[in-house]
Amino acid sequence: MTPVAGSVTTNNHFTHYTPGRCRITATTDVRPAADQFRAGLLLALGSAFAFGMSGPLGKSLMEAGWSPTAAVTARLAGGALAMAAFATAMNRTWVREALAHWRTVLAYGAVPIAGAQFCYYNAVSHLSVGVALLIEYTAPILVVGWLWATTGRRPASLTLAGVALAVAGITLVLNVFSDAHINLTGVGWAMVAAVCAACYFMMSDEVSTEEGGLNPVTLAAGGLIVGAVAVALLGASRVMPMTFTSADTMVAGIATPWFVPVIAMALIPTAIAYTLGIMGVARLRPRFASLVGLSEVMFAVLTAWVLLGESLAAVQVVGAAVVLAGLVLARLGDRTERLAPAEPPM
């Protein structure tokens, strides 16, 4: 059947058809637009930088005698208090809004927040930190696979190449093979942590800043409260050991009271990180946002170098460059998909 000359408006493009031709004449609803993309990228990178500080700060507490569960509980509880105060200052009706969306808030706090923390720390009890992180940061592959399966749209070849390159770069950044220890139980926990991390990007994408949607600040505050309660209950029920100490901690070679890293963890890699992350993912595609999230590992390595004096190997610097190259390829793949002409109707 011969195509009929005319115009058609799709979700992403306004397309003009002439017999035997298909030409894009205007773009009306491209998501994200250039300005939206830049804002989303800056927010996502800021979130990754903030998240990257959680490891070194948490490690300073654990080296002082805190158990992982205690450190996570303090982090989430402090972050919940900070976010509750901030949310109240921004919008006094945020509690009502959270209750109106209680299913989303409960799921977000239980899975991406509490679930990811619980599973990751169980993974590192059986695996080396590098291997556990590598498995958890396969989350972008899960996001790409889920979107492919649910939408039926195969990602562009550049996008798939970018995902593969970014994950390969993370392998170098973590320097996994220098201290690899494999345990099937630990691998299982790490894989569940990866699923929880993938849920973070998919659930954050559902946040809308439009009227009637769930505000990112409300979701972060409500989710952190749910997550803090969930992890605290795990410790109280002795599913995971919970040990606190009042001993001084060492941060950047300086002895500091225990509450200094606790407050820093609550504010930077928790309250600020989750808020920026939700806002960033809402402006980016979940697939690309999950890849940007890989930069958290690079920031964590750099932060550990500055705060804890951990050495930075040349292979890790090369890995960081490989990750960035993967992000560039994935971005080019996203642009190619959005600019591809639609098939003419038959």
Output the pLDDT for position 342.
42
CA end-to-end distance (rounded Å), the chain: 6
Give the domain range for residue 230: 31-339
Answer yes or no: is 91 within a domain: yes
DSSP three-state, residue 21: strand
pTM listed for this prediction: 0.73
Q: How many domains does the chain have?
A: 1
Query: What average pLDDT does the structure give for the chain?
Result: 78
SS3 of 85-143: HHHHHHCCCHHHHHHHCHHHHHHHHHHHHHHHHHHHHHHHCCCCHHHHHHHHCCHHHHH
Place of tokens 């982090």: 75
Answer yes or no: is 21 within a domain: no
Answer yes or no: is 101 within a domain: yes
Answer yes or no: is 122 within a domain: yes
pLDDT in tens, 131-164: 677 778 788 888 888 888 888 888 888 888 888 8
Answer yes or no: is 344 within a domain: no
Place of tokens 């205690």: 70
Judge whether 148 and 218 are in contact, CB under 8 Å: no
Answer yes or no: is 263 within a domain: yes
Answer yes or no: is 20 within a domain: no
Output the pLDDT for position 18.
43
pLDDT in tens, 184-233: 888 888 889 989 989 988 887 766 544 556 888 899 999 999 999 999 99
pLDDT in tens, 14-56: 444 444 444 444 444 544 467 888 888 899 889 988 887 877 7
- Is the pLDDT at 339 greater than 60? The verdict is no
Answer yes or no: is 18 within a domain: no
pLDDT in tens, 250-300: 887 789 999 999 999 999 989 999 889 888 887 887 777 777 877 777 777
Confidence of residue 4 (pLDDT cuts 50, 70, 90): very low
